[in-house]
Amino acid sequence: MPIKIPSFPTAESAQPLKKVIEWVAEQMGVNEYHVAQTMTYFLEGIINRVSMGDGVSIPGFGIFVPYALLKTSRRKIPYCVPVFSPSRGFRNSVKLTAPYSMKWREKHETHKANNRRGKRPRKERMMGFTAMNAMRIAFESNARKEGFDDINSPDGGIKG
């Protein structure tokens, strides 16, 4: 059963995430909605810890840290931005096995342009976890439409 990824403008941009979720669900023996909800809580946890000034290191994957900018704003208030640094193993895996494609480079550049640091942070941008909560609500709604009784149960929900 294909999972529906909320807030993606096109089906094409959701495919890699869908494939990851489906692969993890298959490996764990649970449904895709359970994996998707777990993923949103995991990401929200990373956002919360980095927002509090902690680094989150995932061995073999990389580290998320709040990176203090040396340049200050016009108001002379220093601030931090989130930064991800992949591990050597992750970098080498991608370097040695990923096919060369400008498509993802262009998508990355577009993402950076659309999400660049503004002159002044807006309150809604500071609450990244609200996006994860909205995604969880959408996943749960989709799971109920698909006929899953309780996607929060340890077995991942049973289709009724």
Check residue 58 and give its pLDDT: 93
- What's the pLDDT at 129? 53
Q: Which domains does the chain have, with CATH numbers?
A: 11-117+128-146 (4.10.520.10)
Q: The whole model's pTM is what? A: 0.69
Q: How far apart are CA 44 and CA 46, in angstroms?
A: 5
Predicted pLDDT at 64: 93
Confirm if 59 and 87 have CB atoms less than 8 A apart: yes
List of the chain residues with pLDDT < 70:
1-14, 71-76, 117-132, 148-160
Query: What pLDDT was estimated at residue 16?
Result: 83
pLDDT value of residue 127: 52
DSSP string, 69-80: -SS--TT----E
Neighbours of 137 (CB within 10 A): 13
CA dihedral in degrees (74, 65, 8, 19; nearest 10)?
160
Side chain identity at residue 139, one-letter code = F
